[in-house]
Amino acid sequence: MIVNRTKILIITVVFLLAFVPRVFAQDRWRVALQGGASLPVAGLAEWFSNGSEVQFQIGKRLDNDWLMQGIVEYAHFSDELFYPRNLGNEPYTGVDERIDLMLEHVALWLGGRYDLYQIRPFSVYLQIAGGPLYWKGIRGEVEEIEELTLPSIPGKTLEEWNMGCSAGLGAEMQLGALGLDVGAYYRFVVGSLWPTMQEFVELDAVDGFQSIAFRLGIFYQF
Q: Where are the alpha helices (DSSP H) in the chain?
A: 2-24
What is the CATH classification number for the domain harbouring 112?
A: 2.40.160.20
Name the residue among 71, 133, 142 with its Cα closest to residue 104. 133
Distance, CA of 214 to CA of 185 (rounded, Å)? 7
Find the domain containing 90 and state its range. 2-221
Distance, CA of 175 to CA of 185 (rounded, Å)? 24
- Per-residue pLDDT band for 133 (boundaries 50, 70, 90) equals very high
When divided into structural domains, the chain yields a total of 1
58-96: per-residue pLDDT in tens? 999 887 789 999 999 999 999 887 665 444 445 555 545
Residue 67 or 6, more confident: 67
Q: Using DSSP, how many helices (H) and how many strands (E) does the chain show? A: 1, 10
Cβ-count burial of 83 within 10 angstroms (0-12 exposed, 13-18 middle, 19+ buried)? buried
- Per-residue pLDDT band for 12 (boundaries 50, 70, 90) equals low
- Residues paired with 174 in a beta bridge: 179
Residue 167 or 176, more confident: 167
180: pLDDT strictly greater than 90: yes
pLDDT of residue 25: 47
203-219: per-residue pLDDT in tens? 678 889 999 999 999 99
Residue 176 or 6, more confident: 176
- Per-residue pLDDT band for 150 (boundaries 50, 70, 90) equals low
Supply angle C-alpha 206, 187, 123, rounded to 5: 165
pLDDT of residue 200: 60
